[in-house]
Structure formats: C-alpha cells, structure tokens
Amino acid sequence: MTLRINSTAPDFKAETTQGPIEFHKWIGDGWAILFSHPKDFTPVCTTELGYMAGLKPQFDKLNTKIIGLSVDPVANHSKWAKDIEETQGHAVTYPMIGDPELKVATAYDMLPEGAGTTSEGRSAADNATVRSVFIIGPDKKIKAMLTYPMSTGRNFDEVLRLLESCQLTAKHQVATPVNWKKGEDVIIVPAVSDEAAKAKYPNGWKAPKPYLRIVPQPKD
C-alpha cells in the first residue's frame, strides 16, 4: 500500500520498550509522531534519539505522543537506551517499537523492494531507507511524511515546526509561509472569500497581491 498525505495510518500491534501497544488506541484523541531509524547502536541514530528525548516536553505540550521504531528487538532498544542517555544527556522516556519481522516497516513503506521478512543478519546499510517520520492526527490520518537518507541525521526542530503548522492549519483556514515559525504571520487560504475573511479578521490584512493575504497568527 502506498501511503500519502491523508491516508489512514496503518494500525498495528507491536512490542515496545514500554509494553505491547495497539497503535490507534495508543494514539488516543491526540496527535502522534512515529519515527524510525536504521539500527540500534549506530552513531547517527544515537544522536537523533537523544535529541528527540530532549524535545519530548515540547511535544507533550502540543498533545503529541512520540514513538520510535527500528527492526531491532525490544531487548536491544533497552540496552541501547543507556548509551543514548550517557552520550546525549537525555533519557529516552518515549516507547521504542521492536520490529524484527519488519511488519510495521513494511506497512509504512520504510524499506526498499525485496527487503525480506526478517531483520536477522541485516546491517544498518541494508535498512538505508528506514529513517522516516510520520505526523499523525487525532483522526488517525497521516498529516505529513519525511524520509531522510541513512547518512543524514534529521532536523527534529523542523519536525516540531512542521507539527505546529499542521495543528494550526487543521484548526484555522490558514497556511504557513516559507520558514514560518510559531507566532509569525500566516496566509489566508484561497478557499476563504474576502467577505468571509473580513468576518474573521475585522482589522483586515496585508495583500501585496489579491491572492496573497497576510494576517497575524490566529489565537487558539
């Protein structure tokens, strides 16, 4: 199955470092970020999971659960977590999924064609495409997807920014411009007529072009 924006995120049952989960039930009524890495006890992944652990309080404030995944077994995750805390200064307090049979990785199209059905004997290089991020809404739909090559650590500050944009634009009929950051001006989407926009933004807007209507970020 090819996943796209607004696809329903595949549901699954899995073992994690915090016990078994059913993914949709685990998400509950909030948002979620599922992110994967190629292999435990590897350098780039160690920096990524440690940084994500440091950001967890900010995701908590946004009613967003985070969960990691690799095709390693849960027992490996638990051992590796000690290295992450020691080297990165943040304890991993979010769950990590063990996916040795590649079930979740396959459902989310994280692996190349012909990847097989087991992680046994696989190296990080075999799992080169497994550095993915999925932002999932309360409706269990995929709101955003990112995939990075094995050699490039992700920018999780960007993932946080992307989540903030997704949440804002899900609540208000606006879009966020290039390099937008929380609190900055936003754009009224073309589907909103000028008449409807006047009702919501009685103070008006800046419009360097008729189709480019810029207003302060709406209050929650």
Q: What residues are labeled active site?
A: 45
CB-CB neighbours of 119 under 10 Å: 21
Entry field: residues in the chain: 220
CB-CB neighbours of 3 under 10 Å: 17
Sign of CA dihedral 124, 125, 126, 127: positive
Q: Residue 189, CB half-sphere, CA atoms under 13 Å: how many?
A: 11
Helix H segments across 6-67?
23-27, 43-61
